[in-house]
Amino acid sequence: MVKFATPFLRSSMVLAAAAFAVAASPAVSDETGKQEYMNYCSTCHGDTAKGDGPIAKFLNVSTPSLTTLAKQNDGEFPLLKVIQIIDGRTGMGPHGTLMPVWGDRFKAGSIDSANEYGAEVIVRGRILSLATYLETIQEQ
Ligand code: HEC
């Protein structure tokens, strides 16, 4: 038998698998991100993300604009912070903690998939699309 799985080959196989997973994941795109935003965030943050969605006036805290996140962070979009807010790691009052207002949309467990890894990739695609969409609408 050919002993082919040398450490080098093994690591290239891992890399190839990772590349495949990225290629097979739903495209991370601004369009997907915008859809996610409109479905799960705009009711509070507003269609143009200025913090003026129809639900905002019923909250007892003010709903921030999401177009000034970069401005408030020395001109740099706080990607990681936004990702963590969406995936729920950063519990935020009105977003809820254990059960965020957007339910389990951004949790891998919500996806009926025989393949755990596939579900994780899909959810990461959604989160990243949403975060990068927000990045595209930052005020200068
Ligand atoms: C129920 C209304 C509501 C929904 C829906 C909602 N948010 Fe929020 N969001 C808020 C409020 C209110 C705050 C301010 C919380 C605070 O100050 O404690 C906030 C804060 C934030 C912040 C932090 C802003 C800052 O200036 O630090 C981000 C980022 C954010 N939301 C993103 C999102 C995203 C992305 C979605 C959709 C997945 C979403 N929110 C859905 C009400 C909402």
What domains does the chain contain, in order, with CATH numbers? 27-136 (1.10.760)
* Ligand 1 atom closest to 82 (CA): 29
* Ramachandran region, residue 103 (left: φ > 0; alpha: ψ -120 to 50; beta: rest): left
Structure tokens at 29: 């795109």
Average pLDDT, the chain: 81
Q: Please give the distance, rounded to the nearest whole angstrom, from the Cα atom of residue 12 to the centre of ligand 1.
A: 41
Say if ligand 1 is within 6 A of residue 44 CB: yes
> Atom of ligand 1 at shortest distance to CA of 37?
37
Least-confidence region, from 6-10, 46-50, 130-134: 6-10
Cα–Cα–Cα angle for 85, 88, 90, rounded to 5 degrees? 55
Distances (CA, A) of 3 to 7, 10, 16, 28, 107: 11, 11, 19, 38, 40
Residue 86: which residues within 8 A CB-CB, separation 6 or more?
106, 127, 130, 131
Ligand 1 centroid – CA 113 distance (Å): 29
Q: What is the pLDDT of residues 65-96, one digit of tens each?
A: 999 999 999 999 999 999 999 988 877 777 87
